[in-house]
Structure 1
């Protein structure tokens, strides 16, 4: 008997349906011919608690820390014992075993740890499925691989699980016990990934809270040129009082120039024109999809993940969703026309996009060198009856299909123009863009482009028709949203100060994984560290106090992102996991040594005071101020005539 162990029941059903012969269910398994398909229910096993290693650890005490298992143990999850017993019985009858976990790090771990825990000593084949439709599953069954090839992926996942246990158990106990000494009654949870993510939000909130706006002034002039009119902006010289972004900090010079401008004549002294060619955005990874769906539809990262799981498992409309890849296998290109024709045929919008596609084109998205265990999200080819889906499911499916269809559209081609005028010995600049070929752009927006600058030639005269000085004010950074926090987790190098670390992280940056990022945000909310305010994510007093009480290294992304690099090295280059865990334990000892009740008490008091101060300011102003973006964005005051 061949035993196939799937990650979850939905995958087991898809595999059984693709096998020859009828399918019958019996005792937690599906029988099809000479094969039996059984399943896990997510993780059937979990890391043993500290008291499994020594009963003395049942009591939380600082002098027990750090707790460092010498021989790691796994125990069954409470609700998994029955299914684990089923798999044990089937293994005893099996002549061969097939590992059918999801094609990612966690999928490799959760099936393989069961096989090893139950003592199977024979060979194991690996079945990789990213599309649950029957033809795709049958193709995958015909291409079984040796599971030994995926041992590095398993070791990386195992190392991640042990690292999370060491970090979470020891630091959570240390800060909870220290919190009790400081008067805080409750668990203070510290995690290898969740705490740096919380740190990002806390620091952003502090930037917003501490931001002090200041005014600046801009002067524009409407210029008549030979072929029309345009608006240009004054570029004040350095002898004026400017901020570090070149913005004018006093109104008088702008007013003085504005008084002289009406009717003044000048010349176009510099003209730069260049043609820009832009390829379509790549197909989606999960995180990239979460960012776009949050911006376009206001969906949380967890909602997008849940929708994708339903589109994959229940509706079988998309390929495996928990992917960090934005490229597609080259073999899929030949079937793309048939796949997309079938997938898009029952929706008016998708039919229109499909009709405009040119399947003789080939984009850079088709690249086997950039496809790992899984590829970008894509339609499976099953006809999509979107009217039978929930609205959010249909919206997300259209996004996924659109980004694949866009690979068969020509590039966007535009002409960018930058013009500099000299008027009254002062410089004025204008810029514009002319769309020469829209290419893929209409699939992404229906917004009309701003009119291009009129045709001009260097040296031609201009005349000021109107002008005005505008009062503006700097604005604080935007609060994080699901979209911007996911994007920050994807591109964590932007939030790192150390130039050496920043350079290293650009190649393999990222906090968390595609499969865990949404869950990290939800966990922080459930534990009371973050709260959603409309679409924004803000730190609570508890979250801010926890970050302030921790050593900075524990709440910043550098260490965790570098750990993810080490895990990638184990998975991709077969690096030895031992140095990774040894370095982690050394870090852990240093962090434990910095737990301090006085610092934590002060941090909580400061956070409470800051929260009260913000509430008082909001009450005084009548409403909370809503930030827009980085300080370079500005709020306009009412115009004053020049």
Structure 2
């Protein structure tokens, strides 16, 4: 018997439907000919709790830290024991095993750890499915690979799980127990990803809180030129008081000039005109989609992820959604016309966009060199019926289809014009844009463009019709939203202060993964560290106090970003897990030594004295209770995020 182990039931059903012959269901599996397809339910196993290594570790004690397992153990998740028993029974009957986890690091881990935990010693093949439609699954079944090829990916995922356990368990216990000494009754959860994300929000909130607005002044002049009118802006020289962005800090010079300008004549002394072509935005990765959907529809990152999972699993309208790639396989180009025609025919908006597509065009999106384990989100070709989708599902699907359709539209062609005028021996500048070919742009916006500048000729004269001074103030940075926080997690190098570290970060490095970023935000909200106010994400008093009490490096992104680089090196066979974990343990010892009850007490007191959203006081069963003497374990709060 050939046994295929899928990551989840929906994938197992898709695989069974793609196998030849009729299929029949049995407990926890589907049988089709000589092949049986079973499934995991996400992770069936989890890292064992500390007391699995030593019963004494069930009690939280500072002198027991750090907890460092000598031989790692996995334990079944409580609700997974039944399915784990089914897989155990089927493995005993199998002659061949096929690993059908999702095509990513976690997918590799969660199926392979079950196979190894249950003691299978035979050969394992790897099935990679990124599209649940039957033809796509059949193609995947026809090109099985040796799972040994993906062993480095498994080792990287296993190293990540162990490192997260070490970091989360030890620091969460240390700060929770220190918090108890400081008078805080509850768990203070620390994680290698969630805490730097919280740190981003806390620092942004502090910048907003501490921001002192500064006035500055701008002078405009409405000019009559040969073929119309335009507004230009004064460029004050260095003889005037300016800030580091060239803004005028004293109103008097602008006011004096404004009085002299009406009726003054001048000349267009410099004219620049440049034509530009801009290709369509690439198809979406999950994070890029979450950013756009948050901006357009106000959806949380988790809502977008859940919607994509429904479009992928229940409706089978899109390809695998938890992708960090924005490119498509070159082989998909030939079938794109048929795929998009099938996907878009049932929706009026999509039909209109489809009608304008030119399928002889080939954009840079089709690039095998940029495609890894999975490709960008794309329609599968199954017809979209708006009546069968929720409003949110329809909106998100249109975005995904639109970005693929846009690859078959011309580039946006514009002419950008910059003009510099001299009036009363002072410089005034203006700029404008003319759309030569809207190309793909109408698929993305219906907004009217700003009116273009009138035709201009260098050297032509001008006359001031009116002038005025505007009083303005510098503005604080905007608070984070789901969209901007996801974008910050994707582009974390922008928030790294150390120039040497920033240089080492590659463009795709970030905090979390496509699959986890939405969950990290929701976890911080659920644990009372962040709160949503309208679209803004703000730190609570408890969240601010936690960051203030931790060593600065724990709340900053550098460590996590470099972790991801080291894990990538393990996955690419450029590094081994042991040195990575050894360095982590050494780092951990130093962090534990810095736990300070007085510092935490001061941070909590300071936070209580601030205005802002207060975190609800909650007793959390996974933490120690003051004076109870009862044992407690953080098992229920994952330390991996």
TM range (shorter): over 0.9
Q: Is the 8 A contact 2:541 2:614 kept in 1?
A: no
Confirm or deny: 8 A CA contact 1:209 1:614 kept in the other structure: no
Provide the residue aligned with 1:184 in structure 2.
184
Counterpart contact for 1:323–1:374, Cα < 8 Å: yes
Gaps of 5+ in 2: 616-641
Give the alignment of 1:513-552 within 5 angstroms: 513-552=513-552
CA distance in 1, matches of 2:158, 2:241: 58
Partner of 1:416: 416
- Aligned twin of 2:511: 511
Alignment partner, residue 221 of structure 2: 221
Higher mean displacement: 382-391 or 184-193: 382-391
Give me the CA root mean square deviation: 1.2
Q: CA deviation at 1:501?
A: 1.1
SS in 2 for 1:299: coil
Instruction: Classify 1:37/1:518 alpha carbon distance in 2 versus 1 (closer, same or farther; 3 Å).
Output: same
CA drift at 1:196:
0.0
Mapped partners of 1:186, 1:122: distance in 2: 47
Deviations 1:241-298 (A, max 9, x none): 1111111111111110000000001111111111111000000000000000000000
- How does 1:54-93 map onto structure 2 within 5 Å? 54-93=54-93
4+ long deviations beyond 4 Å: 612-615
Q: For residues 198-209 of structure 1, what are the structure 2 equivalents within 5 Å?
A: 198-209=198-209
Query: Residue 275 in 1 paired to residue 281 in 2?
Result: no
SS at match of 1:212: coil
Once the two structures are overlaid, the 10-residue window that deviates more, 479-488 or 469-478, is 469-478
Distance 1:612 1:284 in 2: 36
Are residues 1:152 and 2:140 paired?
A: no
Helix, strand or coil at the partner of 2:610: helix
Partner of 2:369: 369
Q: 1:537 to 1:432 in 2, by over 3 A?
A: same
Aligned partners of 1:249 and 1:399: how far apart in 2?
44
Confirm or deny: 8 A CA contact 1:508 1:565 kept in the other structure.
Answer: no
Q: Cα–Cα, structure 1 residues 149 and 41, in superposed 2: closer, same or farther, change >3 Å?
A: same
Deviates more, 1:210-219 or 1:484-493: 210-219
Distance 1:192 1:497 in 2: 18
Determine helix, strand or coil for the equivalent of 2:611. helix
1:587 has 2:587 as partner: yes
Q: Which residue of 2 aligns with 1:137?
A: 137
C-alpha contact (below 8 Å) 1:44/1:110 kept by paired residues:
yes
Residue in structure 2 matched with residue 165 of structure 1 by the alignment: 165
CA distance in structure 1 between the aligned counterparts of 2:374 and 2:39, rounded to whole angstroms: 21
Residues 582-610 of structure 1 show CA distances to partners (whole Å, capped at 9, x for unaligned) of 11111111111110000000011111122
Q: CA deviation at 1:20?
A: 1.1
- CA distance in 2 between counterparts of 1:206 and 1:612 reads 11
Cα distance change, pair 612–358 in 1 and its aligned pair in 2 (3 A): closer
CA–CA separation in structure 1 for the residues paired with 2:366 and 2:386: 27
What is the deviation of 1:613?
A: 11
Matching residue of 2:287:
287
State the shift of 1:427 in Å. Answer: 0.6
- After superposition, the C-alpha distances for 1:529-587 in whole angstroms (9 at most, x for unaligned) are 00011111000000000000000000000110111111111113452111211111111
**Most deviating of 151-160 and 453-462:** 453-462
Provide the secondary structure at the position in 1 that maps to 2:448.
Answer: coil
Residue aligned with 1:480, SS: coil
Once the 2 structures are TM-superposed, how far is the Cα of residue 614 of structure 1 from its aligned partner? Answer: 11
In the alignment, the residues of structure 2 paired with residue 109 and residue 237 of structure 1 have an alpha-carbon distance, to the nearest angstrom, of 62
Distance 1:586 1:25 in 2: 51
The answer to whether the Cα contact below 8 Å between 2:540 and 2:612 also exists between their aligned partners in 1 is no
SS at match of 2:373: coil
CA distance in 1, matches of 2:582, 2:275: 53
Structure-2 separation of matches of 1:333 and 1:570:
33
**Scaled by the length of structure 1, what TM-score is found?**
0.95
Question: What SS class does the counterpart of residue 513 from structure 2 fall into?
Answer: coil
Relative CO higher for 1 or 2, CA cutoff 8 Å, sep ≥ 6?
2
CA distance in structure 2 between the aligned counterparts of 1:396 and 1:612, rounded to whole angstroms? 34
Residues 489-504 of structure 1 mapped to structure 2, 5 A cutoff: 489-504=489-504
| Structure 2 match to 1:439 | 439
Aligned partner of residue 232 in structure 2, secondary structure: strand
1:326 and 2:339 equivalent?
no
* Cα deviation code 1:510-542 (max 9, x no counterpart): 000000000000000000000011111000000
8 Å CA contact 2:541, 2:613 repeated in 1: no
> What is the match of residue 359 of structure 1?
359
d(CA) in 2 for partners of 1:498, 1:387: 52
Count of matched residue positions in the alignment of Structure 1 and Structure 2 = 615
TM-score (norm 2): 0.95
Q: Deviations over 1:288-319 (max 9, x none)?
A: 00000000000000000000000000000000
Q: Structure 2 CA distance, aligned partners of 1:264 and 1:496? A: 50
Aligned to 1:379: 379
Mapping of residues 306-321 of structure 1, within 5 Å = 306-321=306-321
Shift of 1:497: 1.0
| Uncovered stretches (5+) of structure 1, i.e. residues with no partner | 616-642
Tell me the alpha carbon deviations over residues 391-450 of structure 1, each in whole angstroms, 9 at most, x when there is no partner. 000000000000000000111110011111110011100000100111100000011111
